[in-house]
Amino acid sequence: MYLYVARHAWAGHYGDPGDWGDDSLRPLTTEGIERYRQVLKRLRSADMSPTVIATSPYTRCLQTAELIAEVCGGDLVELEALALGAELDELVAWSNEQNVDHVCWVGHNPDVQHLTASLVGDGYGSIRFAKGSVAAVRFYGDIEPGQGELYWHATAKLLGV
């Protein structure tokens, strides 16, 4: 099983004036959308192919998840467990219930850093996630914290985007 952990793509800056009213409504920028499409095209050519994509209900994550579905495929599901302060146990249980080989989570920093570290280690570490980056964690069986193998971790900069 492969679990892709994605940080949302480039959004407007927190606190910038905008029409969104609160931070949960902050959208991706036009440039962020185009740049992330390029990231995803490269990852798709490297076989990133989620069957199901779980996302935080925040606008920037929903838009990121929609781009993943558009370029790489997958059905989209909003999960409150991926909102700020993500719930690892709930996400693991939900993902294992899906009975698929490729799952993607779309969330926020620092949550994605800690979730990924908990999946591949003892949970005390951290893996730096730039905006728009994606990590692939491989499991030999169900997802279980501490039992994953960091298969790859791609950033836009690394991909030349």
Q: What was the pLDDT predicted at 20?
A: 62
Write out residues in the chain with pLDDT < 70, as ranges: 14-21
Compute the CA torsion angle 54, 71, 49, 28 (nearest 10 deg).
Answer: -30
Distance (Å, whole) CA 104 – CA 122 = 21
Q: What was the pLDDT predicted at 126?
A: 82
Question: Within 13 Å and on the Cβ side, how many CA atoms surround 145?
Answer: 15
Strands 52-55 vs 75-78: parallel, antiparallel or unpaired: parallel
Q: What was the pLDDT predicted at 42?
A: 97
Distance (Å, whole) CA 157 – CA 152 = 14
Q: What was the pLDDT predicted at 108?
A: 97
